[in-house]
Amino acid sequence: MCMHSKNIDSFLDTLAEMDEQELDRLQDALDQRRSELKKKQSTVLERREYRNGLLQLEGRAYQRKKDGRLMQR
């Protein structure tokens, strides 16, 4: 079992003991983290060496003005 799984399991055990105020703080922290992840603008899909440098293919995220949806191309 990897360390990451042990940490998650331990956290989930602690979760059962949290009161409402602690759960609200946790929810706020989760919402904040999710919004940070959504702000990520690009992801490298492929990278290869070319002459004296690198070429990379990126997936770019943008928000549509029409409806505000987050799209990727």
pLDDT in tens, 7-64: 888 888 898 899 999 989 998 888 888 777 766 667 788 889 888 888 988 888 777 7
Contacts of 55 (CB under 8 A, 6+ apart): 47, 48, 49
pLDDT of residue 5: 64
- Reduce the DSSP state of residue 19 to 3 states and report it: coil
Distance CA 28, CA 17 (A): 18
- pTM (global) more than 0.85: no
- Round to whole Å and give the CA distance between 34 and 40: 10
